Structure 1
């Protein structure tokens, strides 16, 4: 009999998952695995450590969630007090909540318990929830360490570990937290690591925490989703507010995600849009968890049509209806551009990514295009000269708005490992 990983998979039942899990998938309208799920799930079911590389919006949560649930479903007994059978670590509160929601939608028939712990919420309430034990604990590293220090959680019986969006954990400085958490886990354990990019530090991380991992990859690092149409406007910083309103006014009912580089800039931009009559809200590091949750819910429901965010939300928003992503400010880290625009064209839909580039941002654009190995089509304006922001090369001559799709592969290794000063600036900006 051929190994499971060698069998051509076309539907979830082909994977050999328990009927309760496949029934839950069918009830949710999910019948066919995505490419990352098709490659990762069989390996995980066979017990391998898995290193998964895939762009955002490709179904990574179920790629680790389904084999995780299957292994736990076959384990006998309820979790003991203050323990967790499996741990999923994610870098942001939004991503933790997103993962937990997706898992809970499938755990009803299995009676598995999914618990979340994140900063910005009552730690006493989380202590009470953990006191009863849980099957799957989804957490941000910082809050989990707070709970460990209070002896509110015991990870010695945790034999399943998932690191989701691990590259962003590195960017946000969570590597030290991971070094404190990992030794507390039970052994032997199975570890799955998922990431959208593969900088040099990620290779080191996988060697440290994964045992002979099976690597699966469905798209080259630095490549945007095929259904994202990209374009760029070369304008001055002073012209950005006018151009933003011009674009928003063309489709007032569309869900539009606008990225600002800093917390202050995001809040200021949001308030100016509200003053001009737009249904806008903002999420960034200065907002409480409740404020961020309410803003995302309103955005998902369509009550708010414009959400202004910093990179803290670049990988924590999974809303299929996002039609436009506007990079009001270009990110300082090229990889973040890919993560930002990955908020649109989700679940097989099409989307549009529009970027503004001022003369001061010419070098940032050059780094982004080098990473993605494309020239983003120009919608308006002229690229800055080499002496203005360090712009290099000539963008595509296609001047239609949204005149092309991002294609390419590879990774700018020179940009993959930012210096300490750059990481500090990034944390303040979140």
Structure 2
């Protein structure tokens, strides 16, 4: 089905329960997104649906709303408590997100509609009492749900009416193919199924044959990324060692502002970059497959609340093969979570910038990384650092974007590397301290710290929830020698083109502040700029000021 020019159908005209409409209003969802407008009425009619829509388009609401509404309608006539819907996602983080969305949408009918997330990595027996209450909606990964069914904690053979599979194109690549085949044996013969995906791959087509019955296919004619007036994409071609110097300059000179996610391709690089930035006084927290799920969800939650500006995330989607065995052997003693996924589906709030410090291995991974910004109607910027070895990957992405509607393309981020020679020298000095041993020590220290916070102190935090709110994940690891002078930016290494523009003062006691206390005319003009800084200027050789684009 393709989009058309009809007037948008509001939630109030979809025949939804008043309690659900009130919750939608409290969530400040004004009008339904295109995928919600198409999918919700069809789901309410009981049709099977295969929907493809880009990341950040509101797919979660498209399946949560009809599932909750059907349960509310069912309970008007039947009092028996049974499991009516199952929501399956490939990762624990996505399960947590789906659970939170269901909880928010049922806030006005929480006594009538119950939901339970079985994804957290706790013992099956500890979750048995909640499942014995037969919640209306069960959220989990395929492997976790199957484990509960085999254990006898859950029986949905006679009661299940709706199955939802979110991020369907990732289910098999996360090692859940055999789990899905086994699960279907425990499901009733007749049920309604909804498959949601950002791409329609061969894996999705296989899953479609396994789960759906004569489905309606919703394939919105849109680019997989927002249009250029909402998302600006830049690329910087530089040597690998210059990536560190450039990132340091952008952050210390406050040229990158707002909440940012820095993507790398491995756990080791996560800690290498964290230790590097730590020496320059830039606090960051890391996300990777080795951290406990409670810590990962807590980090995302606090980032969304505005506690952190920078997250360094390892996108390990290419580190797992189809049967879920870890391919990254950079740390043999570590235990990776095959159900980890941070570049896919997770709703990071108000992300201004996505920085690909290491270029993604696949086009799909690039799309989903960049999709963490410019979500909904908000604007965002993506900046990718590319060295010689990554040029082929860049070409693949550019070719794919050129074939999509919306005019997406990567613009060159122009600058003169000679202007940040001072940062290059300091970065080289800092990198000498970031040894392999320091990285491994930081990796082990972080894991131990997060394990302590998420497990041993679990009961304490349950009794003292306010203390959990102030638990921070961006503390310095301090496994490298601290050089205090690196944390400050003296005038002599600031590019000349920035001196007059930012009104930098030469006094040593203010050298670490990129902005002067008194605003010059140029500063006031800068404050009036509403767009992201990366969109507002470029380095140009021989010019004293930035040229506004």
* TM-score grouping bracket, smaller chain normalisation: 0.7 to 0.9
Instruction: Tell me if structure 1 keeps the 8 A contact 2:167–2:345.
Output: no
- Per-residue deviation, 1:268: 2.4
- Per-residue deviation, 1:252: 6.5
> Partner residue of 1:313?
342
Deviations 1:312-353 (A, max 9, x none): 201243133110001111111210111111111112100001
TM normalised by structure 2 equals 0.65
Instruction: State the superposition RMSD in angstroms.
Output: 2.4
- Per-residue deviation, 1:115: 0.7
> Partner residue of 2:124?
123
- Give the match's secondary structure for 1:326: strand
Q: Say which is worse superposed, 167-176 or 7-16, in terms of deviation.
A: 7-16
Deviations 1:231-273 (A, max 9, x none): 0001111111122222233257611001111122123222332
CA separation of 1:79/1:271 partners in 2, compared to 1, >3 Å: closer, same or farther?
farther
> Partner residue of 2:243?
240
CA separation of 1:217/1:246 partners in 2, compared to 1, >3 Å: closer, same or farther?
farther
> Partner residue of 1:422?
none
Instruction: Tell me if structure 2 keeps the 8 A contact 1:114–1:135.
Output: yes
CA separation of 1:55/1:277 partners in 2, compared to 1, >3 Å: closer, same or farther?
same
- Per-residue deviation, 1:109: 2.5
TM normalised by structure 1 equals 0.83
Task: Determine which of 171, 186, 189 is the counterpart of 2:173.
Answer: 171
Pairs aligned (count): 381
CA separation of 1:278/1:298 partners in 2, compared to 1, >3 Å: closer, same or farther?
farther
Deviations 1:384-424 (A, max 9, x none): xxxxxxxxxxxxxxxx95599xxxxxxxxxxxxxxxxxxxx
CA separation of 1:327/1:278 partners in 2, compared to 1, >3 Å: closer, same or farther?
same
CA separation of 1:218/1:86 partners in 2, compared to 1, >3 Å: closer, same or farther?
same
> Partner residue of 1:135?
136
> Partner residue of 2:36?
37
CA distance in 1, matches of 2:190, 2:354: 43
Instruction: Tell me if structure 1 keeps the 8 A contact 2:55–2:225.
Output: no
Instruction: Tell me if structure 2 keeps the 8 A contact 1:198–1:221.
Output: no
Instruction: Tell me if structure 1 keeps the 8 A contact 2:60–2:98.
Output: yes
Instruction: Tell me if structure 2 keeps the 8 A contact 1:379–1:402.
Output: no
Unmatched segments (≥5 aa) in structure 1: 383-399, 405-430
- Give the match's secondary structure for 2:74: coil
CA distance in 2, matches of 1:316, 1:287: 19
CA distance in 2, matches of 1:235, 1:287: 31
Instruction: Tell me if structure 2 keeps the 8 A contact 1:261–1:329.
Output: yes
Q: How does 1:7-406 map to 2 (within 5 A)?
A: 8-76=7-75, 77=78, 80=81, 84-110=83-109, 111-156=112-157, 157-220=159-222, 222-224=224-226, 226=228, 227-249=230-252, 250=254, 254-311=258-315, 312-373=341-402, 375-380=409-414, 401-402=534-535
- Give the match's secondary structure for 1:230: strand
CA separation of 1:202/1:328 partners in 2, compared to 1, >3 Å: closer, same or farther?
same
- Per-residue deviation, 1:44: 0.8
Instruction: Tell me if structure 2 keeps the 8 A contact 1:87–1:161.
Output: yes
- Give the match's secondary structure for 2:195: strand
CA separation of 1:22/1:262 partners in 2, compared to 1, >3 Å: closer, same or farther?
same
- Give the match's secondary structure for 1:171: coil
Deviations 1:191-229 (A, max 9, x none): 000000111222222122111111112344644455111
CA distance in 2, matches of 1:87, 1:318: 21
- Give the match's secondary structure for 1:212: coil
- Per-residue deviation, 1:149: 2.5
CA distance in 2, matches of 1:195, 1:149: 28
CA distance in 1, matches of 2:123, 2:209: 35
CA separation of 1:162/1:125 partners in 2, compared to 1, >3 Å: closer, same or farther?
same
Deviations 1:168-200 (A, max 9, x none): 223222222211112211231000000001112
> Partner residue of 2:473?
none
CA distance in 1, matches of 2:70, 2:5: 20
CA distance in 2, matches of 1:222, 1:105: 27
- Give the match's secondary structure for 1:36: helix
- Per-residue deviation, 1:285: 0.6
Q: Greater strand share, 1 or 2?
A: 1
- Per-residue deviation, 1:122: 4.4
- Give the match's secondary structure for 1:286: coil
CA separation of 1:48/1:381 partners in 2, compared to 1, >3 Å: closer, same or farther?
same
Tell me which stretches of 4 or more aligned residues in structure 1 moved more than 6 Å: none
Q: Say which is worse superposed, 212-221 or 17-26, in terms of deviation.
A: 212-221
